[in-house]
Chain A
C-alpha cells in the first residue's frame, strides 16, 4: 500500500519536475541564458523601447517604436524603414568587439546590394557611452570598414592579426569617410551610443545583453547579431560568429516582406 502511494507521489513529483524543467529550458532546448534569449525572441518578437542614439557623425537616430520609419514619401505614405542588424560593443574592447567589428564588416559586404537599396542598415551600439564619444566611435569603425576580408575569414580570434591587416584598405576607407562624401552612415553601418543611462539600461534589458567588469578596466559581454524589423521589433538574435548564416536569415526576411524588391 505504502509502495503504491509512494509510487504515485514520486511519479507526481517527477511529472511536476519535468513540467518545470521544460518551462525553464524552453522545451528542453535552452540551457543557457543566451540560448533561452534566442528562443524567447524567436517565439515572441520584442518591441524595442523608443530610444535616441547619437551616431559617430554626431547626428541622432531613433530606435524602436516606428523609429526606423522614414518620413512620408511623395505619395504621402510613410515608407517602411530598413531592417536593422544591431550589435553591442565598446570601443576599448580588445576581444569580442574587435572580432564582432570585423564580422560586421563581413556582413556589410554580404548584404551590400540590400544595403545599397536602403533595405538594411547595420548598427553598432556602444554600452560604454561615458568613454565612447562620437570621435571614439568613428575611430573604432574605421578600424574595420573595408578591411574585413583580411582577417575575419582567417579565423583569428585575437586582435593581433586584425590590427595588422587594417593597413592599406583601412586607410582607403578612412579617406573615403573623411573626404566629405556622406560617410559611415552611407555605407549602411552606423555606430552609435545612447546618451541617457536609463536608455542604456532599457536597451541592455530588452536585448538581453549583460556587460560585466572583467577587473582589468574592460567588460566581458555576450554578443550577437540582433535583427530588428521595420516596425522596430527585435525579431531574432543570431550567432555573431556566423555572418554568412546571419546574412542568409536577413535575406530571407527581406524576401518574405510584403513589398520586397522595392
Chain B
C-alpha cells in the first residue's frame, strides 16, 4: 500500500488504482477501519433514519413540496442525504460481500446516476405529487437507491470514477436548470411558470457552486490523491476518517 506522503502524479495514481483490483484488498481495508466504522455507522444510521422520518412528516413534506425549488433542491437532496447516512450503518461484512460486485464503486454510482436521471424528469416530479405509488417510490428510491449506494461506493471509487460521477452530476444540474429556465411553457403541471424559472436558476447556481467546489479541490490538490492512497492514510491516521466529505 502507498503511504500518504508519496507524491504520485495523477496518471500513476490512476494506474495504481486500476492494478489494485479484487475484493481481497478491499476486505483487508475494511477490517482495518472496521472498528471506527461500527461506531460512526451507528450514529450515521440513526441520523439517516431520523432525517428520513422527519421528511415524511406532513408538517415538513407539504411546505417542501409546495415550492418547486424546495422540492427539487431541498427535499430530494435531503432524502438522498438520509440514504448516505443510512449507508454508514451497513455492516462491514455486508460491504465485503458486495465489494466484488462493486469494484471501484462503479455499480453503485451507476445505480445512483440512473435514479437521479429519472427524478430529474418533469413528469416524475408531477407524478410524485399526484400518484401515491410514485410518492412512495420517491421516498424509497432516493434514500435506498441513490444515497445508500453512494455511501457504499464513494470510498471505493478512485479519482477517475469520482470525477466522472461529479461531472455527470454537474452536467445534470446545468442541463435541467437550463431546460427549466429556457422553456416558455410549463413543464410541470403542478407548478407555476415563474416557480419553474426560479427552479431553473437555482439549479444553475447549484451546478455552478458544485463546479467551483470541484475545480477548487483540483487546483489545491486536496482531493488529487486518488482512492488508492487515501484509504491507507485513513487507516493510519484515524483522525481523518472522512477527508472526502
Minimum distance in angstroms from A92 CB to a CB of chain B: 17
Complex Cα distance A34/B123, Å?
8
Whether B117 pairs with A31 at a CB distance below 8 angstroms is no
Specify which chain B residues have a CB less than 8 angstroms from the CB of A20 in the assembled complex.
114, 118
**Binary interface encoding of chain B residues 103-126 relative to chain A, with 1 for a CB under 8 A from any of its CBs, else 0:** 110110011001101100111101
A17 on the B face (CB < 8 A)? yes
Complex Cα distance A126/B45, Å?
51
Q: Which of A3, A21, A220 has a CB less than 8 Å from the CB of B103?
A: A3
Whether B106 pairs with A21 at a CB distance below 8 angstroms is no
Residue total for B at the interface (Cβ-Cβ under 8 A)? 31
Interface stretch (choices B31-39, B49-57, B185-193, B219-227): B185-193
Complex Cα distance A146/B109, Å?
60
A: contact size bracket:
20 to 34
A32 on the B face (CB < 8 A)? yes
- Total residue contacts A-B, CB cutoff 8 A: 84
Which chain B residue has the least Cβ–Cβ distance from A20?
B118
Complex Cα distance A53/B123, Å?
30
Whether A2 pairs with B122 at a CB distance below 8 angstroms is no
Specify which chain B residues have a CB less than 8 angstroms from the CB of A31 in the assembled complex.
121-123, 187
Name 17 A/B residue pairs within 8 A (Cβ), A-sorted. Answer: A6-B104, A6-B106, A9-B107, A10-B106, A17-B118, A21-B117, A24-B118, A24-B121, A32-B188, A33-B122, A33-B190, A34-B189, A212-B192, A214-B192, A220-B186, A220-B192, A222-B189
User: What residues of chain B have their CB less than 8 Å away from a CB belonging to chain A?
Assistant: 21-23, 99-104, 106-107, 110-111, 114-115, 117-118, 121-124, 126-127, 186-193
5 nearest A-B residue pairs (beta carbon) = A17-B114, A6-B103, A9-B107, A33-B126, A210-B189
Add 17 more A-B contacts to A16-B114, A32-B122, A210-B190 (CB < 8 A).
Answer: A1-B22, A1-B100, A2-B100, A2-B103, A6-B103, A6-B106, A10-B107, A13-B110, A14-B114, A24-B121, A32-B188, A33-B127, A33-B189, A34-B189, A214-B192, A220-B186, A220-B192
User: What residues of chain A have their CB less than 8 Å away from a CB belonging to chain B?
Assistant: 1-3, 5-6, 9-10, 13-14, 16-17, 20-21, 24-25, 30-36, 208, 210, 212, 214, 220, 222
